[in-house]
């Protein structure tokens, strides 16, 4: 695929995911997520050519101007979109599929000091909400949605919805029928049981206080 075609896909991704986008000129001039993606193209190319220092310098300038840090080694697919990207961090061995959307404050982080695969792999059409943290060499299946503020440390199947700390799968969508299967959430069920128990105890205490001594 030519560079121009790839950049056009990035522009189209902005229009598809951000209703505030009004024109191509606006995207070219005023969308830091789009700018960060283009800076990374250059840095990643130089990184693959084993050029020393310069790719990291470009990455550093990218962070300075956009607030988005993408290691030159990260692999990013087509149609990538970062919305309100301040604070996004993408680690060296991260792999991102096509048509992926990240919101501000997302981290694709690592847990190892070894020079191995240590950052997440995101499948196609993954959406990661505000402030979510994806940590380690995990795989996020295609069409998965990660809720805002989630901390995901284990791999997630395709078509899932993940929420919470630590992140847990609460629903899986069937792409053929577009139906959603809600999965049991043990943590939420435990919290509900505790809430119910506390409410019962409060009622008993209230009754006891009303009884004449």
What confidence score (pLDDT) does residue 67 get?
95
Whether residue 140 is contained in a domain is answered as: yes
Whether residue 158 is contained in a domain is answered as: yes
Contact criterion met (CB below 8 Å) for 105 and 87: yes
Q: What is the pTM of this model?
A: 0.82
Report phi then psi at 33, rounded to 5: -65, -40
Whether residue 206 is contained in a domain is answered as: no
Number of domains into which the chain is organized: 1
**CA dist., res. 43 & res. 40, Å (int):** 5
Whether residue 191 is contained in a domain is answered as: no
Report pLDDT digits (tens) over 60-111: 999 999 999 999 999 999 999 999 889 999 999 999 999 999 999 999 999 8
Whether residue 189 is contained in a domain is answered as: no
Residue 44's domain spans which residues? 3-184
> What token pair was written down for 8?
């056009």
CATH number of domain containing 37: 2.160.10.10
Whether residue 213 is contained in a domain is answered as: no
Report phi then psi at 126, rounded to 5: -80, 140
Residue 205's pLDDT band, with cuts at 50, 70 and 90, is: confident
Whether residue 118 is contained in a domain is answered as: yes
Whether residue 126 is contained in a domain is answered as: yes
Residue scoring higher pLDDT (34 or 189): 34
């Amino acid at each position: 695929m030519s560079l121009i075609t790839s950049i056009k896909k990035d522009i189209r991704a902005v229009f598809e995911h951000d209703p505030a986008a009004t024109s191509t000129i606006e995207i070219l001039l005023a969308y830091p997520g789009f700018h960060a993606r283009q800076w990374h193209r250059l840095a990643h190319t130089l990184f693959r050519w084993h050029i020393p220092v310069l790719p990291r310098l470009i990455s550093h300038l990218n962070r300075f101007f956009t607030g988005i840090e993408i290691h030159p080694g990260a692999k990013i697919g087509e149609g990538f979109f970062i919305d309100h990207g301040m604070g996004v961090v993408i680690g060296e061995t991260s792999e991102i599929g096509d048509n992926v959307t990240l919101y501000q404050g997302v981290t694709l982080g690592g847990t190892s000091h070894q020079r191995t695969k240590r950052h997440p792999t995101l499948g196609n059409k993954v959406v990661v909400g505000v402030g979510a943290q994806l940590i380690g060499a995990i795989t996020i299946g295609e069409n998965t949605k990660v809720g805002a503020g989630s901390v995901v440390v284990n791999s997630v199947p395709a078509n899932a919805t993940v929420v919470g700390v630590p992140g847990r799968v609460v629903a899986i969508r069937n792409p053929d029928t577009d139906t959603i299967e809600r999965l049991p959430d043990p943590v939420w069920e435990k919290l509900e049981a505790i809430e119910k128990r506390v409410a019962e105890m409060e009622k008993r205490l209230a009754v006891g206080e009303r009884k004449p001594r």
